[in-house]
Amino acid sequence: MIELRTPTEIEQMRPAGRFVAEVITALSQAADVGVNLLELDALAHEMIRARGAESCYIDYHPSFGASPFGKVLCTSVNDAVLHGLPHDYVLRDGDLLSVDFAASVDGWVSDSALSVVVGAPRPEDVRLIETTTRALEAGIAAAEAGRKIGDISAAIATVARGDGYTINTQFGGHGVGRTMHGDPHVPNDGRAGRGYPLRPGLVIAIEPWFLHGTDQIYTDRDGWTLRSADGSRGAHMEHTIAITEDGPLVLTSRN
């Protein structure tokens, strides 16, 4: 069921957005050569406790997950692009890391993701991150009242294809509110002018993700981490936004 939020409810969602943005920023700054993925998860866990927030991940067990997730953030490294389960891995020079984090504050959820290069970057990784960032920005710009979900999807796909990347539509954006995942689905490819109307009060996560050489993925033996079929690297960007009469409001803005 798709729910529309009142202006008052959207204001009540702002603290969750600010908190998620703070955690994502702290994680990106903490990610360095020699840092263990479990240390990043512990940092996020401590920030959740200090804020009195609730994790959206730790007990999360959808049909595509092998078991309850058990951690409070996703850490996807190199050929992993989504749902990376934090494990005993020490970051190395040149690693491409994506962190995805969602939390509930006062009963409202926000969700965000960011990709960074640890240490010395490869030019192709920088380009991939830049493309994914521009795709997110294009999707957000298209999220105006009176338009359609397909306008967001088409804007994302135009950026990706323009830079030579293919697109997987198995996983994409989604509704956000009292829970982390809800309707509508926001695919990263679609036809402009089609799909659910964008009405004031709709709150969604927009999350483009692309791989260097393929759009095919498989699930790692851990039952969660999604990896590229050809071993190429991936990048993932995400913001939670609200559709308003005055344009899209980015609740998880890190500015």
Look up residue 143 and give its two tokens: 């999220």
pLDDT of residue 205: 98
Question: What is the tens place of the pLDDT at every residue in 9-55?
Answer: 999 999 999 999 999 999 999 999 999 999 999 999 999 999 999 99
* Residue 59 banded pLDDT, cuts 50, 70, 90: very high
Task: Please choose, from the candidates 76, 70, 71, the residue with its C-alpha nearest in 3D space to the C-alpha of residue 89.
Answer: 76
User: What is the structure's pLDDT at 62?
Assistant: 86
Ligand-binding annotation for 236, yes or no, is no
CATH class for the region spanning 7-250: alpha beta
How far is residue 165 CA from its own chain's centroid?
A: 18
Give Cβ neighbours of residue 221 (< 8 Å, ≥ 6 apart): none
- Distance CA(212)–CA(214), nearest Å, equals 6
Mean of the pLDDT values across residues 61-80? Answer: 93
Which tens digit of pLDDT belongs to each residue from 158-191? 999 999 999 999 999 999 999 999 999 999 999 9
pLDDT higher than 90, residue 1: no
pLDDT-above-70 percentage for the chain: 100
21 half-sphere exposure, CB direction, 13 A CA radius: 15
> Is 54 marked within a binding site?
no
Is 24:99 a contact under the CB 8 Å cutoff?
A: yes
181 in a labelled binding site: yes
Percent of the chain having pLDDT more than 90?
97
Helix axes of 149-162 and 123-141: crossing angle, nearest 10 degrees: 160
pLDDT of residue 63: 85
Q: Is 61 annotated as a binding residue?
A: no
Residues 6 or more apart whose Cβ sits within 8 Å of residue 234: 76, 79, 80, 81, 82, 96, 98, 128, 209, 210, 211, 212, 228
Give the pair of three-digit tokens for residue 116.
């960074």
pLDDT digits (tens, 9 = 90+) for 79-106: 999 999 999 999 999 999 999 999 999 9
What is the band of 65 on the pLDDT scale with cuts at 50, 70, 90?
confident
pLDDT digit string, tens, across residues 118-132: 999 999 999 999 999
Is 207 flagged in the annotation as binding? Answer: yes
Per-residue pLDDT at 114 exceeds 90: yes
User: Would you kindly state where each structural domain of the chain is located, as residue ranges?
Assistant: 7-250
* 100 annotated to a ligand binding site: yes
Instruction: Yes or no: say if 38 and 88 are a contact pair by the CB < 8 Å rule.
Output: yes
Residue 235 · residue 132 · CB < 8 Å:
yes
Count of CA atoms in the C-beta half-sphere (13 A) of 194 = 10
Spatial contact of 98 and 238, defined as CB atoms under 8 Å apart: no
